[in-house]
Structure 1
């Protein structure tokens, strides 16, 4: 796998294509990085993505150059609370990590002309993996060992005797418009 190669789910690819369409023009600094990601991507369904690939909403541990490891959640939009927890894919580092596998590095050009290397150390949580595990558990235990989620609440008249209306001798029990 080349250094730029990444693995994207169909959902992640669609989001990147929309981001590229919305780039403000040729001067947008994200446009070349978006093209690079899209062109080098291997596209898979969410059920087929490996658990070691960073997908949208994955919690990842990564290092920039030879710095200390950082842990972030790859998010779609910038989120500020709690501060420092999220890394949006609308930022160069977030976009660089999307689709990268554990142990893989991604060289990212920086504004000052230098290049920084991001290395994905570990995917700590991946929503697709969790979804597969939940579905697998549901297949093994159809009821899931849980009680039903709905509870019947009886009305105020439950158990009371109902007033009966006797039919007229001719079998017709409609009181007519005056009863309304």
Structure 2
């Protein structure tokens, strides 16, 4: 494990981790060592100042566990029912390990069975703090009469995975369903 590793956390993310640690103390919880490590090596910033390549809560991230194929998930505060395979909660050691890690960085931690797992961040596809900054910048440009130009790489992929899924559910032809039988 790297002692010099730094985790960049927003004030909100840091506070959530503190509360999680308070709730875990006194129990044999596998999250405790990860929480203590994150909090002791944290560089805390305002959401406006967090780099766009750092995993924060609600970020959509492509990551790897050890040498497994890359996966893409939304890092969430809690388990979100109905979104199986789309989210990874920070109540899961892998989700917690991703929080505060930048693209190209990794974190190694002890898994539930005692073996080591290494989680590495390939790409932060979407980060809500970066998106808010971009929206504010475009709003200021529009208010000043300038034609707003999105920053290069600002979209960083499709952060609207849930919106697209919802649209596909409602974009079906309404007349395909024959309705109840008249019998």
- TM-score bin (small chain): 0.7 to 0.9
- SS of aligned partner of 2:5: coil
CA positional deviation for 1:57: 0.2
Q: Where do 5+ consecutive residues of structure 2 fail to align?
A: 148-183
CA positional deviation for 1:80: 2.7
- SS of aligned partner of 2:143: coil
- What is the TM-score normalised by the length of structure 1? 0.76
- Residue 109 of structure 2 corresponds to 108
CA positional deviation for 1:113: 1.6
1:84 partnered with 2:80: no
What is the alpha-carbon distance in structure 2 between the residues aligned to residue 133 and residue 49 of structure 1? 13
What is the alpha-carbon distance in structure 2 between the residues aligned to residue 2 and residue 21 of structure 1? 23
CA positional deviation for 1:4: 3.4
Q: Where do 5+ consecutive residues of structure 1 fail to align?
A: 146-180
Contact 1:64–1:117 (8 Å) recurs in 2: yes
What is the alpha-carbon distance in structure 1 between the residues aligned to residue 131 and residue 76 of structure 2? 17
1:95 partnered with 2:96: yes
1:28 partnered with 2:17: no
What is the alpha-carbon distance in structure 1 between the residues aligned to residue 119 and residue 4 of structure 2? 11
Contact 1:4–1:36 (8 Å) recurs in 2: no
- Residue 139 of structure 1 corresponds to 140
Q: How many residues of Structure 1 are paired with residues of Structure 2 in the alignment?
A: 145
- Residue 172 of structure 1 corresponds to none
CA positional deviation for 1:25: 1.5
After TM superposition, the runs of 4+ consecutive aligned structure 1 residues lying more than 4 A away are: none
Query: Aligned-pair RMSD on alpha carbons?
Result: 1.9
- Residue 120 of structure 1 corresponds to 121
Larger fraction in helix: 2
What is the alpha-carbon distance in structure 2 between the residues aligned to residue 4 and residue 95 of structure 1? 15
- Residue 8 of structure 2 corresponds to 7
Contact 1:58–1:123 (8 Å) recurs in 2: yes
Q: Which has the larger radius of gyration?
A: 1
What is the alpha-carbon distance in structure 1 between the residues aligned to residue 23 and residue 144 of structure 2? 45
- SS of aligned partner of 2:24: coil
- Residue 167 of structure 1 corresponds to none
- SS of aligned partner of 2:88: strand
What is the alpha-carbon distance in structure 1 between the residues aligned to residue 25 and residue 36 of structure 2? 14
What is the alpha-carbon distance in structure 2 between the residues aligned to residue 13 and residue 24 of structure 1? 17
Contact 1:53–1:101 (8 Å) recurs in 2: yes
